[in-house]
Amino acid sequence: MSNTPHYYYNEVLRLLKEHQTWFSESIPLIASENIPSPAVREAIVSDFGNRYAEGWPGERVYAGCIYIDQVENICIELAKQLFRSEFADVRPVSGVCANLSVYSAFTEPNDIMLTLAIPNGGHISMGRKELFGTAGLVHGLRVTYYPFNKDEMNIDVDETKKNIEEMIKKGEKPKLAMLGGSLILFPQPVRELSTILHQYDILVCYDAAHVAGLIAGGQFQDPLREGADIMTLSTHKTLFGPQGGAIVSFLKFAEKIKKAVFPGNTSNHHLHHVAGKAIAFAEMLEFGSAYASQVVKNAKALAQALYDKGLDVLGAEKGFTKSHQIALDVTKHGDGGTLEKQLEACNIIVNRQLIPGDIKAGRNYMHPGGLRLGVSEVTRLGMREGEMQEIAEFIKMVVVDKADLHLVREKVREFRRNYQRVHYAFESEREAYAYIKIR
Ligand SMILES: *Cc1c(COP(=O)(O)O)cnc(C)c1O
């Protein structure tokens, strides 16, 4: 660090701008990302982000919340409408914080929790202590895994039932069952599992971090109607809000959840993000159904096109996907880590992914057997099935043909030029990745 402070000041601002130019010329396929509307971005730079509230609207710890309370109340009402829930808490600052709040509200350290193993779609927030997972490490939960059917890419209901019965015989009854996941191609058997789990008085929480936008748009399953007691979510994956979390549930669980969020797992929450969430929820209510149905169509189209070009797409027996995600087994062509970097060099942004069987085969997180693609952001940019064909061709050129990376990059930049607006949002003059200078 040998330069002047002013140099670094300018350097950070320059890098921010460069990043946005790069993304405006790229194909963003990270399944956990999306592009918020200019209106959401406006909320994020507002003064709400500099204030303290703490607590529930009307019962704040600090003065100065007159407008903040009104916005948060709107946000809560919109969330309840969007997810048809009796209760919503929009304060969790992330999906992990939402999950941790559920663990705090309804379990004690050393209780047993059921969830998916990470290569089968589980998330670190539901992970074991040995893996530094939030559930094990932070809340001391003992994590056990659902039996998983790789061909179906889904939880095995019959085996799960047997496992639970055996656990109960041994006096090891789970307290909480988490559903949902990070790699989630198909709706899970929430209804069947909830029936079984509730027989044994096990609480069911569906982690909709990824699929919340599809649920809101009526294009995936509807966990709260299918037996889940609680649903946690991230607000920025298929939902297109600012980064954050939320919890929706029934009134009978409201008080415990509220206390677990504050003071349990936050002091102040991020008030500018609450405003951004409210705007995104309003956009979702207006445009969510059209958006979510195009997302699912695009995912299916991209999966089919990749399959037709000779790539191994998981879930083939079930039609590849019913969500925004596509999972590829790339072991024939290299490893997920190396291919992720090569695609990035061509402005195609994806993430490497542990897939079922990787751990047994000795593969690890740095060099797994899979890639995960998500189409939420490209859908928000106005792309449809036709564009998915072109994206599949670019991916094939890199992964299968080992084409010249500079050449592919130029083709990607050219292709990308025409998609610079956020769709499924109220009117705005701004381009999607415009760098907004307010100095
Ligand atoms: C992304 C994800 C989370 C965490 O969300 P953050 O908002 O990044 O904290 C939780 N659960 C699942 C299943 C996820 O995929």
pLDDT of residue 36: 98
CB contact at 8 A, 44 and 51:
no
303-305-306-310 Cα dihedral, nearest 10 degrees: 130
Element (H, E) at 409: helix 405-416
Q: At 283, is the secondary structure helix, strand, or coil? A: helix
145 domain residue, yes or no:
yes
Closest CA to 127 of 119, 136, 139, 138: 136
Q: At 181, is the secondary structure helix, strand, or coil? A: coil
335 domain residue, yes or no:
no
Pocket flag, ligand 1, residue 212 (CB < 6 Å): no
185 domain residue, yes or no:
yes
Q: What is the pLDDT of residues 415-428, one digit of tens each?
A: 999 999 999 999 99
421 domain residue, yes or no:
no
Pocket flag, ligand 1, residue 123 (CB < 6 Å): yes
CB contact at 8 A, 224 and 84:
yes
160 domain residue, yes or no:
yes
Structural domain count, the chain: 1
pLDDT of residue 141: 98
CB contact at 8 A, 174 and 101:
no
Which ligand 1 atom lies nearest to the CA of residue 121? 13
Q: How many Å lie between the centroid of ligand 1 and the Cα of residue 213?
A: 13
**Ligand 1 pocket test target in 90, 91, 93, 96 with most atoms within 8 Å of CB:** 96
Residues of 23-33 as b/e, b for ≥16 C-beta within 10 angstroms? bbbbbbbebbb
343 domain residue, yes or no:
no
What is the crossing angle of helices 271-308 and 385-399, to 10°?
70
- Look up tokens 């010329």; give the residue: 25
Closest protein CA for atom 5 of ligand 1 = 95
209 domain residue, yes or no:
yes
pLDDT of residue 1: 77
Q: Name, in order, each residue with C-beta under 8 angstroms of 76's C-beta and a sequence gap of 6 or more.
A: 57, 88, 89, 90
Pocket flag, ligand 1, residue 121 (CB < 6 Å): no
- Tell me the whole-structure pTM to 2 decimals: 0.97
Q: Name, in order, each residue with C-beta under 8 angstroms of 344's C-beta and a sequence gap of 6 or more.
A: 350
Closest protein CA for atom 6 of ligand 1 = 95
Q: Locate 32 and state its tokens.
A: 């956990």
Q: What angle do CA 414, 419, 423 make, to 5 degrees?
A: 170
Q: How many Å lie between the centroid of ligand 1 and the Cα of residue 209?
A: 5
CA 318 to CA 186: how far, in whole Å?
A: 9
Q: pLDDT tens string for the chain (439 positions)?
A: 789 999 999 999 999 999 999 999 999 999 999 999 999 999 999 999 999 999 999 999 999 999 999 999 999 999 999 999 999 999 999 999 999 999 999 999 999 999 999 999 999 999 999 999 999 999 999 999 999 999 999 999 999 999 999 999 999 999 999 999 999 999 999 999 999 999 999 999 999 999 999 999 999 999 999 999 999 999 999 999 999 999 999 999 999 999 999 999 999 999 999 999 999 999 999 999 999 999 999 999 999 999 999 999 999 999 999 999 999 999 999 999 999 999 999 999 999 999 999 999 999 999 999 999 999 999 999 999 999 999 999 999 999 999 999 999 999 999 999 999 999 999 999 999 999 999 9
CATH of the domain at 187: 3.40.640.10
Closest protein CA for atom 13 of ligand 1 = 181
Q: Specify the long-range contacts of residues 413-416, CB closer than 8 Å, at least 24 apart.
A: 413/25, 413/347, 415/27, 415/390, 416/24, 416/25, 416/26, 416/27, 416/347
Closest CA to 177 of 155, 197, 191, 157: 197
Pocket flag, ligand 1, residue 270 (CB < 6 Å): no
Q: Name, in order, each residue with C-beta under 8 angstroms of 299's C-beta and a sequence gap of 6 or more.
A: 320, 321, 323, 324, 325, 326, 374, 375
Domain containing 105 equals: 42-282
